[in-house]
Structures are given as C-alpha cells and as structure tokens.
C-alpha cells in the first residue's frame, strides 16, 4: 500500500477514535448511539464501521489506547506512577465514568470480558515485568508473592478510577499512594 | 399512630425497597423505569411515590441501607472486615454494578452527590471511630494521620466493589487484604 494511503488510513482512524471517545464520555456506553457517533466523528456509519466492526470494537480500541499509554508509564515508573499521573494531569473524568458503566456488561458478556482483558494485558504485563525487576534489585519486599502485590496495586487503581470518575475529593491521595509504595517496598535493616 | 398502622407502613416500605433493589440490579439506574418499578414492587406508582419522593430518593434509601449494614460491621471489625464479608458472602453483584453506573450522576449532580455522601456518612463515622480506638490501643501505626489511613481503606473498598461488580476473579483477594491490614498496623519492636 502506498505511503499516502497508510497516512490517510491512520488519520481517519484517529478521527474516529477521538470523536468516539468524546461521544462515549458525553453520553455513556449505552447512550452513544450510531447517530451520535456519526455526529461526534463527522463521518457516516458506513465509514465508521468500515474501520471498526461495531460499537463494541470501537470501545475496546479506546480501552486499548488507555492500556498502551498506562503500560508505557508502568514500564518505567510502575503502576503507582500511573496513578500519580492520573491525579496530577487533567484526566477525562467523563471517560472514566464510562469505564465504570460497563461493569454489568463485563460481568454478563463473557466475549466482551475476554476482549477487554486482552486489551488490558499489556498494562498487566508491563507492571509485572517492572515488579520483577524491582524484586531482582532488592527493592520489593520478598515475603509476598508478586501476584499478590500486583493484585493489590490493581485494586488500588480500580479504586482511584472510581474516585476520579465520581468527582470525589482527591487532595489527600498522594499521601495514600506514598503509603501504598511504602507497603510493598523492601525495608533495609537499618530502617527496621 | 396505632401500632398496626406502623407495622403496615414498615411492611409496605420493605416491599418497595426489596422490589426496587431487584429492579435497579436488573435494569441499572437509568433502566429502572417507573413501569418496571411498579412491576418489581407489585405496587402502583402512586403507592411507591407516596413513600419515596422519586426514583432518586428510592435509590438513596437503598444506598443508606447498605451504609448502615456496613457501618455495623465496621464498628466491630473495621473496614477490612466489611471487605472480607463481601468476599465471603454471596453479594448481589448486579446491585454493586448499579453503584458504579451512577458515577456520572454523582459527579455532575451536586445535590445528588451531597445526598449520597450524607447516606454514606455513617460508614465513614463508624470506620473513623474504630480507627481511633485502634490507635488508642496502640494497634494502629502512629506515623500517619488517621485521615490518610481512612482514605486508603476507602480507596481499597471502592476497588473491591469494582472488582466484584465486573465479575473479575477475586480468589487472591484475602491475601491482598492481609497486606492491607498489615500495612496500617503498628508493628511491635520485637517484630521490626
């Protein structure tokens, strides 16, 4: 395929994803109808669903973008750094709310749940790889299996997303994240 | 008011709350229409809204029931015990999903948010009171302010609700809760 077509394809997909993200954020998953997706992207349903099979595929593509971005941060600074970034940077709270609204669908629709988990695997892999490096470097407490620590950090990330999506006060949460980091760190003997 | 009428009133409210909880759980907050609330409770809209002003008031009454129950457990065993109970006992996952679905409404509707927070105050008060007792007894780490510890525990509860509502695997979470408890406990000198 000539270069210009590839560029065009990428630009068109970008246009669809950006519009769809705004649409889901404003109307929620159920409220993002085909008509509203057309309005938000400025494209016809034919053009949209030429690139993405259906609304579900579009939503999963956006979830995948989130996971890729978070995985980049987690690979370098860990999952707590992902959370600190969410606290510090203007986050799209409406989009986060949409991530909560699909809870029922995640539980009742196993195909959707598998696809969602596949899209999030990058983040889990990046976090796990960093935890193992921290462990090798003697910076991770060695009395707990890595999966327990991973599960602990993921639970806190889920809590943080809920906190941000519901607009609760987050001013004290950096101190909470300090506690989280400290609770999984290896303490040197001189500290104990 | 004679005793028999009070009993009748309580029974009628119970009938409305139980039906409404099933209805919200099955259809979500937005999907719980007046017609569906009538079907689920077996009562007319006139009868339902004689006892509860509107759908919002009904939902908040159910949230208040949750908070009261959790506050009872938290007063005795702490917020981690509340979470262990959620892991051990058959919880109504569909109802938990509804608690996530209202994220957008909580953030955009300040009246609703205030009412929701007022309904949850009991749980926060009970948790805080127990943390202060634990602190007095020397069982809570003394290098962190109680509000930080409270906020930490609440964040984990939010994460747990998300985990349960989305149907994710929870088999490893008791070990995670052990870590949570240990991270806020005062360690005796002989342990350090």
What residues in A contact B97, CB-CB < 8 Å?
103-104, 107
* Domains identified in chain B, total number: 2
Supply the pLDDT for residue A192: 42
Q: What is the pLDDT of residues B95-118, one digit of tens each?
A: 999 989 999 889 889 999 999 999
B119 and B158 belong to one structural domain: yes
B3 and B31 belong to one structural domain: yes
Chain B CB within 8 Å of residue A160 CB = yes
B177 and B90 belong to one structural domain: yes
Contact B64, A70 (CB under 8 A): no
pLDDT value at B93 more than 90:
no
Host domain of residue B38: 1-52
Q: Within a domain: residue B189?
A: no
Q: Within a domain: residue B191?
A: no
Supply the pLDDT for residue A3: 65
- CATH classification at residue B118: 1.10.357.10
B48 and B64 belong to one structural domain: no
A 16-55 residues with CB < 8 A to B: 28, 30
Q: Within a domain: residue A191?
A: no
Q: How far is B114 from chain A (nearest CA, A)?
A: 11
Q: What is the pLDDT of residues A99-111, one digit of tens each?
A: 899 998 898 899 9
Q: What is the pLDDT of residues A144-164, one digit of tens each?
A: 999 999 999 999 999 999 999
Chosen from B166, B174, B180 to mutate, greatest number of chain A CBs within 10 A: B166
A114 and A27 belong to one structural domain: no
pLDDT value at B179 more than 60:
yes
Q: Within a domain: residue B130?
A: yes
* Cα separation, A71 vs B112, whole angstroms: 35
Q: Within a domain: residue A190?
A: no
Supply the pLDDT for residue A109: 92
* Cα separation, B129 vs B122, whole angstroms: 10
B46 and B59 belong to one structural domain: no
Q: How far is B32 from chain A (nearest CA, A)?
A: 14
């Amino acid at each position: 395929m000539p270069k210009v077509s590839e560029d065009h394809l990428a630009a068109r997909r970008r246009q669809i994803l950006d519009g769809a993200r705004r649409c889901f954020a404003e109307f929620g998953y159920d409220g993002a109808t085909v008509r509203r997706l057309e309005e938000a992207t400025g494209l016809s349903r034919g053009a949209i669903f030429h690139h993405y099979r259906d609304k579900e595929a579009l939503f999963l593509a956006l979830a995948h973008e989130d996971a890729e971005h978070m995985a980049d941060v987690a690979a370098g600074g860990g999952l707590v750094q992902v959370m600190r970034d969410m606290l510090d940077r203007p986050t799209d709270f409406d989009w986060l709310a949409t991530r909560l609204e699909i809870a029922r669908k995640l539980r009742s629709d196993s195909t959707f749940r598998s696809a969602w988990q596949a899209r999030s695997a990058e983040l889990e892999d990046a976090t796990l790889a960093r935890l193992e490096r921290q462990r090798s470097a003697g910076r991770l407490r060695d009395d707990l299996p890595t999966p327990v620590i991973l599960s602990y950090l993921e639970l806190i990330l889920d809590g943080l997303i809920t906190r941000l999506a519901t607009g609760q006060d987050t001013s004290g949460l950096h101190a909470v994240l300090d506690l989280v980091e400290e609770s999984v760190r290896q303490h040197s003997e001189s500290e104990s």
